[in-house]
């Protein structure tokens, strides 16, 4: 029997948690009801939350910076708080744009909160 070829081992089965490059599929997660839950709404919420919190951090940083400017430069302190309010409005607008909602709405008033709080802290 020396003429027989050695038996080749069976190919290893790929674990289920790894991607199969020969069988690419868009992932959908089945919800407990009958319809599939798509990944796109989750991505929108994550992206809008990241954009909003990042820009709001910038706005709050401007307010904190305005508090550390000397008191004889009130114009700079007020100016930084106005810029902080503008960035707050941009944060809300960015979150609404990601969800494809109308940009101009009453929700934009939430964005001026950091600037108003900063003005109260600076002017007291």
Q: Is the pLDDT of residue 113 over 60?
A: yes
Determine the Cα–Cα distance for residues 96 and 113; give it in Å rounded to an integer.
Answer: 17
Residue-wise pLDDT for 61-73, tens only, equals: 999 999 999 999 9
Mean pLDDT (whole number) for 92-116: 93
Determine the Cα–Cα distance for residues 91 and 103; give it in Å rounded to an integer.
Answer: 11
Residues 6+ apart with CB under 8 A from 107: 92, 96
Neighbours of 106 (CB within 10 A): 6
Neighbours of 2 (CB within 10 A): 3
CB 111 within 8 A of CB 90: yes
Kindly give the residue spans of alpha helices, DSSP state H, lying in the chain. 39-67, 74-98, 113-123
Determine the Cα–Cα distance for residues 69 and 54; give it in Å rounded to an integer.
Answer: 23
Residue-wise pLDDT for 7-17, tens only, equals: 777 777 766 66
Structure tokens at 14: 């790929």
Query: What is the pTM assigned to this prediction?
Result: 0.67
């Amino acid at each position: 029997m020396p003429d027989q070829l050695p038996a080749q081992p069976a190919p290893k089965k790929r674990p289920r948690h790894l991607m199969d490059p020969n069988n690419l599929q868009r992932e959908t997660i089945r919800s407990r009801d009958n319809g599939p839950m798509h990944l796109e709404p989750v991505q929108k919420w994550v992206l809008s939350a990241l954009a909003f919190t990042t820009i709001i951090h910038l706005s709050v940083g401007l307010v904190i910076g305005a508090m550390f400017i000397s008191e004889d430069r009130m114009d700079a302190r007020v100016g930084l708080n106005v810029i902080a309010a503008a960035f707050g409005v941009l944060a809300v607008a960015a979150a609404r744009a990601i969800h494809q909602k109308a940009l101009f709405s009453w929700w934009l008033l939430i964005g001026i909160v950091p600037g108003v709080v900063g003005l109260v802290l600076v002017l007291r």
